[in-house]
């Protein structure tokens, strides 16, 4: 039997809305590492098991590839020749890459000056039509919906239901690796599609009754074999400057260094509240300073480099461990939604400058002497 991995649609074909004739557009997405943190729990002196789901290792460097393989596959199946999205960067990178793979045109609307450099380079390099708007993500999302009403373009934002179908597979992978759902699952929340998708995934995994399942109405094809009854408590963390779920209302001028989640009018508003209620979870917020601190802490204590928005999940968990909201002995999964290389400017701005010396042995030895640990 071949062990060649060909992406999440093939792997979870029986749980996704595809047929044998569906033309699958894949770049080998999914199957990302679930890395147990070794040093950080010791540093914070807590008896907990924290695992990070490193979604930055998807083909375009973020979890968006999970949704995009499904959205573009279904768009092509329906005969669409063009896709469109609004984006804070990662969705545009994924739409650009999967659009290229499918041989269709992609239009991406991004907030001018507010997307990380790596993401912009991806959209440009894959040949998207990149439209910078003098507005924020929420303006872009509104415009995309208006335009798609009259023009032959398929929206590939998470309001496209196939996106969430693809993204739910991250939950399948976690349950399969751990043998059951974790106690807590933490995610950064922007548009709130991903937290919704994970809950669908966890719920379908335990769903026993094909007829009665309210979530999938028996369509997920995954009901024959119940796999235990556990679902995690879902935790959604936002950046303090763009935290509509904390305010309980939309935010008109969101601001945060974590540009990926600089969103004030989340599309999956109702769904995310439902996830909170059903899972017994909560929302939390982290300041930009806390987010950047944890991004660096993770990079330097564990060797895992994620982008600022992604660090929000871990930053929120560390705060909730500290205040006792999450108990010791828990197993916690934090999704790291995007790779740190997406945003080199923010990484460099908070790191120690390189040391410049003469090209001499003496100069190098001096630096080593001065910087040797212990």
Query: Which residues are near ligand F0G by CB under 6 A?
Result: 62, 64, 87-91, 158, 188-194, 260-261, 307, 309-310, 337-338
Residue 13 or 319: the one with the smaller Cβ distance to ligand F0G is 319
Q: How far apart are CA 330 and CA 299, in angstroms?
A: 23
Nearer Cβ to ligand F0G (223/272): 272
Q: How far is the CB of 25 from ligand F0G (least distance, A)?
A: 19
- Bridge partner residues of 236 (DSSP): 187, 283
The closest alpha carbon to 135, from 113, 151, 150, belongs to 113
Closest distance between ligand F0G and the C-beta of residue 222, in Å? Answer: 22
Do the Cβ atoms of 242 and 255 come closer than 8 Å? yes
Cβ-contact 307, 56 below 8 angstroms: yes
Nearest Cα to 255, choosing from 245, 247, 263? 263
Minimum CB distance to ligand F0G, residue 102 (Å): 19
For the CB of residue 54, give the shortest distance to ligand F0G in the complex, in Å.
Answer: 12
For residue 344, the SS3 value is helix
CA distance 326 to 328: 7
Specify the residue, 194 or 256, whose C-beta has the smaller distance to ligand F0G.
Answer: 194
Closest approach of ligand F0G to the CB of residue 2, in Å: 32
- By beta-carbon proximity to ligand F0G, the closer residue of 110 and 321 is 110
- CA-wise closest residue to 326 among 284, 278, 297: 284
Q: Which is nearer to ligand F0G, 96 or 207 (CB)?
A: 96
* 8 Å CB contact between 136 and 111: yes
Shortest Å, Cβ 154 to ligand F0G = 16
Minimum CB distance to ligand F0G smaller for 13 or for 114: 114
Residue 56: CA atoms inside 13 Å, Cβ hemisphere, count? 21
């Amino acid at each position: 039997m071949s062990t060649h991995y060909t992406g999440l649609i093939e792997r979870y074909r029986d749980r996704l809305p595809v047929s044998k004739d569906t033309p699958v557009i894949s770049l080998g997405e999914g199957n990302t590492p679930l890395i147990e943190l070794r040093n950080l729990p010791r540093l914070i002196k807590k008896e907990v098991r924290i695992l990070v789901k490193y979604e930055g290792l998807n083909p375009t460097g973020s979890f968006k590839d999970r949704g995009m393989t499904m959205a573009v596959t279904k768009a092509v199946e329906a005969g669409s020749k063009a896709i469109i999205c609004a984006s804070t960067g990662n969705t545009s990178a994924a739409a650009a890459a999967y659009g290229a793979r499918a041989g269709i045109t992609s239009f991406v609307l991004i907030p001018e000056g507010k997307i990380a450099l790596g993401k912009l380079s991806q959209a440009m390099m894959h040949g998207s039509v990149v439209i910078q708007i003098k507005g924020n993500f929420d303006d872009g999302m509104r415009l995309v919906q208006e335009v798609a009403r009259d023009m032959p373009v398929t929206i590939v934002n998470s309001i496209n239901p196939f996106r969430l179908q693809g993204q739910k597979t991250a939950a399948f992978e976690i349950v399969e690796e751990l043998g059951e759902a974790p106690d807590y699952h933490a995610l950064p929340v922007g548009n709130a599609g991903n937290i919704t998708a994970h809950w669908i995934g966890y719920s379908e995994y335990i769903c026993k009754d094909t007829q009665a399942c309210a979530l999938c109405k028996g369509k997920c094809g995954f009901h024959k074999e119940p796999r235990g009854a556990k679902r995690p408590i879902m935790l959604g963390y936002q950046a303090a400057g763009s935290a509509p779920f904390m305010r309980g209302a939309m935010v008109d001028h969101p601001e945060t260094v974590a540009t990926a989640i600089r969103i004030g009018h989340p599309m999956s508003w109702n769904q995310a509240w439902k996830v909170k209620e059903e899972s017994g979870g909560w929302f939390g917020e982290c300041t930009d300073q806390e987010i950047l601190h944890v991004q660096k802490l993770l990079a330097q204590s564990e060797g895992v480099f994620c982008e600022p928005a992604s660090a929000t999940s871990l930053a929120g968990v560390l705060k909730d461990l500290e205040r006792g909201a999450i108990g010791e002995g828990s197993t916690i999964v934090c999704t790291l939604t995007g790779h740190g290389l997406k945003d080199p400017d923010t990484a460099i701005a908070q790191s120690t400058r390189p040391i410049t010396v003469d090209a001499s042995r003496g100069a190098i030895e001096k630096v080593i002497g001065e910087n040797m640990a212990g």
